[in-house]
Amino acid sequence: MQLRMTNQREIILRELKKSKAHLAADELYDLVKKIMPRISLATVYRNLEILSEAGLIGKLEISGRQKRFDFDVSDHDHIYCTVCHRVDNLNIERKGMDSEQLGAEVGYTITGYRVEIIGICPDCQKKGKKMEKKQ
């Protein structure tokens, strides 16, 4: 199936790429609305799903939180801040992982995998230390 690249999709892709972040649909909507004031959140969300299904962007569903979208579709993992919900790329060495063997032990055929790391980002750590000093 050939995906038609509409003006809306081009703007959504451009704004996602320009942000260099893992944005939720509503965050991207706020950016796109500045360019296309009449666009709806539902339109942005629908187009993000279409772009994701077409493999043009990545869709992150981290710990049951709001979906986030990633312009970088290469194989990579993410780290998630449990305080501010920021998501950053994380480069994990995958050479030693034998996903086929892991799947075989429980009868699965592996089609892909992702590693989810959670923690507290540097900004939230700094804020936490400032709060401690005030007390």
pLDDT at 96 over 70: no
Tokens of 89: 């790329």
Q: Is the dihedral of CA 59, 78, 112, 10 positive or negative?
A: positive
Question: What whole-number percentage of the chain has pLDDT above 70?
Answer: 91
Looking at the fold, whether 7 and 66 belong to one and the same domain comes out as yes
- Per-residue pLDDT reduced to its tens digit, 45-76: 999 999 999 999 999 887 667 789 999 888 88
Looking at the fold, whether 79 and 65 belong to one and the same domain comes out as no
Cα(132)–Cα(85) distance, integer angstroms: 21
* Whole-Å CA distances, 114 to 1, 15, 17, 75, 83: 27, 25, 22, 9, 22
Cα(80)–Cα(72) distance, integer angstroms: 16
Total of domains in the chain: 2
pLDDT at 81 over 80: yes
Looking at the fold, whether 81 and 60 belong to one and the same domain comes out as no
Looking at the fold, whether 42 and 99 belong to one and the same domain comes out as no
Looking at the fold, whether 61 and 5 belong to one and the same domain comes out as yes
Looking at the fold, whether 40 and 87 belong to one and the same domain comes out as no
Domain final position from 49, 72, 95: 72
Domain final position from 42, 72, 102: 72
Sequence letter at residue 18 = K
